[in-house]
Every structure is written in structure tokens, then in C-alpha cells.
């Protein structure tokens, strides 16, 4: 079991609650929190379940979701059958761009709702159109902001 301070445990819980509010299962956010708080880059499955006191099933489901979302990675070592999980830190800018793609896709769906609704509810159409325009604005501006930030950081 990984030894955690009281402050680390509280932070893991706060990260877990944040992720729950984003729609993730409870164990998912706590695992992310643990992987960020840990002073070791990778933890075994057993270390995760023992440290967080969660079931194997909850841990397995959460780890699979996090792997699928490309928020974590795992490594193995020769002669050791265990997998060791760590936060995937290198791809965060790809994640930002990917989220912008989802935002743009959602704005296209909203645009279609306005088309299908027609002019029966102009007030709603205007409010939905405002949201569409903002989502499209975000999907254009965030990648440009990311590029700008990356260039400034390299200076």
C-alpha cells in the first residue's frame, strides 16, 4: 500500500468529487487523483485497490475507462506479469484538441435541431444559435491559443 498523508488523501477525494461532477464513476476520479498525487510514476493494480480501499471490479472498470480515454497508461517490466498504471501526461494538448472536436460536433448537432424545429419557436432558436456560435468560436480559438501558449513557452 502506498502511504499517503492526510492532506494527500483529502486532495484525492476532492479530485474524485470533481470527476464525479463531470459524470465519471467515483473510483475513476479517485484513481486519477492517486496517480497525480503519488510520488511514484506508476502504481500496480493491487497498490491502487489497497491504497484507495476500492473493489477489484470498481478499479478494473475505472482503469479500463481511463485507458480508453487515454488519460492513463500502463507499463510492464520483464519478468513481472503485473501492469503498472500512471497518468498519461504527454498527450494533454491532444486531449484539448480532441475536446474541441467534440464541441464542434455537438454544435453541428444543435444546428440540425434548429433546422428541424423550423420557425415554430424563434426565441429558442435564437438561444440555441447563440450557443452554437459560441461553441464554434471556442473550437476555432482554443487550438490557436494552445499554439500561442506552446510557442511562448519555448522562448
34 conformational bin, left if phi > 0, alpha if psi -120 to 50, beta if neither: alpha
How confident is the prediction for the chain on average, in pLDDT? 93
C-alpha grid cell, residue 74: 500502463
Show the cell assigned to 14.
476532492
CATH code of domain 6-87: 1.10.10.10
- In the predicted model, residues of the chain with pLDDT beneath 50 are none
Q: Is the pTM of this model over 0.85?
A: no
Burial of 108 (0-12, 13-18, 19+ CB in 10 A): exposed
Long-range contacts from 48-55, C-beta under 8 angstroms, 24+ separation:
48/85, 50/1, 50/2, 51/1, 51/2, 51/4, 52/12, 52/27, 54/27, 54/30
d(CA 142, CA 145): 5
Per-residue model confidence (pLDDT) at position 98? 85
pLDDT tens column, 41-78 = 999 999 999 999 999 999 999 999 999 988 999 999 99
Question: Distance between CA 33 and CA 48 in Å, rounded?
Answer: 11
pLDDT score at 1 = 56
Amino acid at each position: 500500500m502506498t502511504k499517503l498523508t492526510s492532506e494527500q488523501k483529502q486532495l484525492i477525494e476532492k479530485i474524485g468529487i470533481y470527476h464525479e461532477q463531470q459524470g465519471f464513476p467515483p473510483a475513476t476520479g479517485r484513481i486519477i487523483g492517486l496517480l497525480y498525487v503519488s510520488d511514484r510514476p506508476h502504481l500496480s493494480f493491487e497498490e491502487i485497490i489497497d491504497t484507495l480501499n476500492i473493489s477489484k471490479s470498481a478499479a478494473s472498470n475505472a482503469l479500463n475507462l481511463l485507458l480508453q480515454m487515454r488519460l492513463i497508461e500502463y507499463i510492464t517490466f520483464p519478468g513481472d506479469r503485473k501492469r503498472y498504471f500512471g497518468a498519461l501526461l504527454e498527450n494533454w494538448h491532444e486531449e484539448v484538441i480532441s475536446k474541441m472536436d467534440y464541441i464542434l460536433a455537438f454544435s453541428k448537432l444543435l444546428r440540425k435541431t434548429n433546422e428541424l424545429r423550423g420557425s415554430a419557436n424563434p426565441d429558442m432558436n435564437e438561444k440555441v444559435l447563440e450557443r452554437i456560435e459560441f461553441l464554434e468560436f471556442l473550437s476555432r480559438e482554443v487550438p490557436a491559443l494552445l499554439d500561442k501558449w506552446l510557442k511562448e513557452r519555448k522562448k
